[in-house]
Amino acid sequence: MSEVIVITSGKGGVGKTTTTANVGTGLAKLDKKVVLIDTDIGLRNLDVVMGLENRIVYNLVDVVEGNCRIKQALIKDKRYPNLYLLPSAQTRDKTAVSPEQMVKLIQELREEFDYILLDCPAGIEQGFKNAIAAADRALIVTTPEVSAIRDADRIIGLLEANDIKKIDLIVNRLRMDMVKRGDMMSIEDVVDILAIHLIGAVPDDENIVISTNQGEPLVGDSSMAGMAYMNICKRVLGEDVPFLDLNSKEGFFTRLGKLFK
Amino acid sequence: MKQQSVVIKSNQYGLTVILDEAMPFPELKTEVAGKFQASAGFFKNAQMALTFRGRSLTPQEEWDLVQVITQNCPLEIMCIMDEDALTEEAMKKAVEEHASMGGQDGKFYKGTLRSGQVLEAETSIIILGDVNAGAKVVSKGNVVVLGSLKGTIYVGAAGNENAFVAALSMDPMQIRIADVIARSSDRQAVTRERKKSDDTPKIAYVEEGNIYIEPITKEVLGDIRI
C-alpha cells in the first residue's frame, strides 16, 4: 500500500526541500521504494539538493502534457537504486499543471512506489493546491519563529478543510542554547500553539548547509540533524522512536568516536 | 360624553395606540402621558412593538410620543410598525428578531480555529477548542471558548453591549463587543507566543464604554446580563 506525503509549510525558507530530500533518502535507506516530486514549478531546487541537476531531461510538466512517459522523466538517484526524483520545470509556472492532472499522475505512481513525497512550494496558491490534491498525509515544517508558526497554522487549517486528516509536525532549526536563554520558542511552545502531532525536531546544524551545497542528503549520518531526520523516517513508517536529546552539542557517534581517539 | 382622545389596544406582542385626529398635538401628548402612566403597572417591563393609528404623524411627532410613552411607563418599545403591517404575526416576528440580537440561542463548534479561518454566527457560540492567532470569531450573541483564545473576537455584532466573551485562557489579539474595541498590549511577539498561557478562565464584558477582562468569579458572573 503506497502512501502519498506532502511536505509543506506556508512560509518559504523553513526547510521543506531539505526535509523532502532527507526524509525521502532516509526512507530509501530503510528499503522503501520512494519517489520525490518537486511541485515548485518555476523555482525548482530539489534536484540541486539531491545532487541530480545534471541528469534532468524531462520534467513534471512534460509528463503532464504528454511530451514523455513517466518512466522517462523519473531520475534514478545516484546512491540508492530504489529512490527516484521527478523534477519540476524551470521555464514554466504553477499554472502549467492542474490539481486534477496531479491526482492522475500520482495515481499512476502509486502502483510503482511505497512512498510518494511531494515537495510543496511556499504560499497557498495554485502550486500548493497542486501539491496537496493527491496527498494522503502531510508533514508540516516550521521553525520556532512566530511568522513561520502563523503560516503553518494557516496551512493546517487549509489541509483540514481539504480533508487531509493525518498531519504531523516537524520543528526545524531549533537552537537549544537560544531556547534555554528564553530567546526562542521551545518545541513545547510550538506544539502548544499548533496542537498537532509532533513527528520530529531537527536542530540548527551547519552540516545541513554543507550537505545541501554538496547535493548529499545527510540523513542517517552521525550529525545531530542526520540522526533527527533518520528518526523522523522511522516514525513515518510507524516505529516508536524516542526523541533525541538535542541539548548535547554533538551526535552520539561523534562522541563515541572521540572516546576511541 | 366626551369621546376618548387616546385609546390603547394591545395583544401579546404589540400595542396599538389610537389617537384623536383633531386634538392639538401638545394636548394629545399630555393625554398619552396620562394614559400610559395609568397603565404602567399593567405593562411592567414588557417588550412591545408599537403602532399609531387614527392620525398621521410626522417622524418628529412619532418620536415625541415614543419618548412620552417610555418616560411614563416601564415599557421597552422594540420597534414602531406601519399600520398596513399591523398584524399580530408581524409584530411577533419583529419582537423575536430583535430579541435574538441578544444571542439567547447558541450553537457549538468543535475544533481549533486556525489562522485565516472565520467563524460567524447569528447566535451565541461555544467553541470546543482553541481560537489561534489570525483566526476570527463573529457572533451576534456571546462566545465561550473552552480552550485558549488568541485570535480576534467580535461579540454582540448587532450592537448588543451586554454581550460577553469567556475563555479558559484569555489572550486575544483584539476583542470587540458591540462598538467597543480593545486590543492586546504591545508585548513583544515572541514573548506573547512563548508565554505560558495564564490558566485562569476569564470573561470580557463592557462597562461604561470600556472592556474589562476579569477572572470568572461568582461576583463577576452575577453582574452579567443576558
DSSP annotation of A132 reads H
Looking at this predicted complex, what is its ipTM? 0.72
d(CA B225, CA B211): 15
Q: Do A154 and B116 make contact, defined as CB atoms within 8 angstroms? A: yes
Option in A154, A189, A195 nearest B193 (CB): A189
Size of interface A-B (CB pairs under 8 A): 42
Q: Are B98 and B122 in contact (CB under 8 A)?
A: no
Residues 108-167 of B with CB under 8 A from A: 111-117, 130, 132-135, 150
Q: What is the pLDDT of residue B124?
A: 94
Residues 6+ apart with CB under 8 A from B58: none
**The three grid cell numbers given for residue A116, joined into one nine-digit string:** 510518494
Please state, as a whole number, how many other Cβ atoms lie within 10 Å of the Cβ of residue B39: 16
B150 neighbourhood in chain A, CB within 8 Å: 193
DSSP structure string for A194-233: H-SEEEEEEE--HHHHHHHHHT---TTSSSHHHHHHHHHH
Please state, as a whole number, how many other Cβ atoms lie within 10 Å of the Cβ of residue B121: 18
Is any Cβ of chain B less than 8 angstroms from the Cβ of A182? yes
Q: What is the pLDDT of residue B67?
A: 84
The CA dihedral of A85, A91, A93, A94, to the nearest 10 degrees, is -10
Q: What is the pLDDT along chain A (261 residues), one digit of tens a residue?
A: 799 999 999 999 999 999 999 999 999 999 999 999 999 999 999 999 999 998 999 999 999 999 999 999 999 999 999 999 999 998 888 999 999 999 999 999 999 999 999 999 999 999 999 999 999 999 999 999 999 999 999 999 999 999 999 999 999 999 999 999 999 999 999 999 999 999 999 999 999 999 999 999 999 999 999 999 999 999 999 999 999 888 765 555 555 555 555
DSSP annotation of B58 reads -
Query: How do beta strands B14-19 and B47-53 pair?
Result: parallel
Is any Cβ of chain A less than 8 angstroms from the Cβ of B93? no
Question: Which residue matches cell numbers 523516517?
Answer: A233
- Look at residue B49 and tell me whether its pLDDT is greater than 50: yes
Please state, as a whole number, how many other Cβ atoms lie within 10 Å of the Cβ of residue A242: 6
d(CA A34, CA A201): 22
Q: Do B115 and A185 make contact, defined as CB atoms within 8 angstroms? A: no
Q: How far is B43 from chain A (nearest CA, A)?
A: 52
Q: How far is B171 from chain A (nearest CA, A)?
A: 12
Domains located in chain A, CATH noted: 3-259 (3.40.50.300)
d(CA B219, CA A196): 37
Q: What is the pLDDT of residue B1?
A: 44
Q: What share of chain A is helix, strand, coil (3-state, %, to 5)?
A: 45, 15, 40
B193 neighbourhood in chain A, CB within 8 Å: 146, 149, 185, 189, 193
- Look at residue B199 and tell me whether its pLDDT is greater than 90: no
Q: Are A169 and A198 in contact (CB under 8 A)?
A: yes
Q: In which residue ranges of chain B is CATH 2.160.20.70 found?
A: 106-223
Reduced to 3 states, what is the DSSP secondary structure of residue A170? strand
Q: Do A195 and B194 make contact, defined as CB atoms within 8 angstroms? A: no
**The three grid cell numbers given for residue B114, joined into one nine-digit string:** 486556525
Q: Do A153 and B194 make contact, defined as CB atoms within 8 angstroms? A: no
DSSP structure string for A69-128: -HHHHPEEPSS-TTEEEEPPPSSS-GGGS-HHHHHHHHHHHHTT-SEEEEEPPSSSSHHH
Task: List the single residue in B with minimal CA-CA distance to A146.
Answer: B190
What distance, in Å, lies between the first and last C-alpha atoms of chain A?
Answer: 46
pLDDT tier, B74 (very low <50, low <70, confident <90, very high otherwise): confident
Q: How far is B118 from chain A (nearest CA, A)?
A: 11
B168 neighbourhood in chain A, CB within 8 Å: none
**Would the pTM count as exceeding 0.80?**
no
Q: What is the pLDDT of residue A152?
A: 97
Q: Are B140 and B160 in contact (CB under 8 A)?
A: yes
Q: For B204-220, what is the mean pLDDT?
A: 94
d(CA B79, CA B47): 9
Task: List the single residue in B with minimal CA-CA distance to A184.
Answer: B190
Please state, as a whole number, how many other Cβ atoms lie within 10 Å of the Cβ of residue B27: 11
Interface test with A, best of B113, B115, B195 (most A CBs within 10 A): B115
Q: Do B115 and A157 make contact, defined as CB atoms within 8 angstroms? A: yes
Secondary-structure class of domain B106-223 per CATH: mainly beta
Tens digit of each residue's pLDDT (9 = 90 or more) over B159-171: 999 999 999 999 9
Option in B130, B189, B193 nearest A195 (CB): B130
Q: In which residue ranges of chain B is CATH 3.30.750 found?
A: 6-100
Interface test with A, best of B130, B132, B136, B173 (most A CBs within 10 A): B132
Please state, as a whole number, how many other Cβ atoms lie within 10 Å of the Cβ of residue A66: 7
CATH topology for the B6-100 domain: Transcription Regulator spoIIAA (3.30.750)
Residues 6+ apart with CB under 8 A from A94: A41, A42, A121, A125, A126, A127, A130
Q: Do B134 and A150 make contact, defined as CB atoms within 8 angstroms? A: yes
DSSP β-bridge partners for residue B211: B206
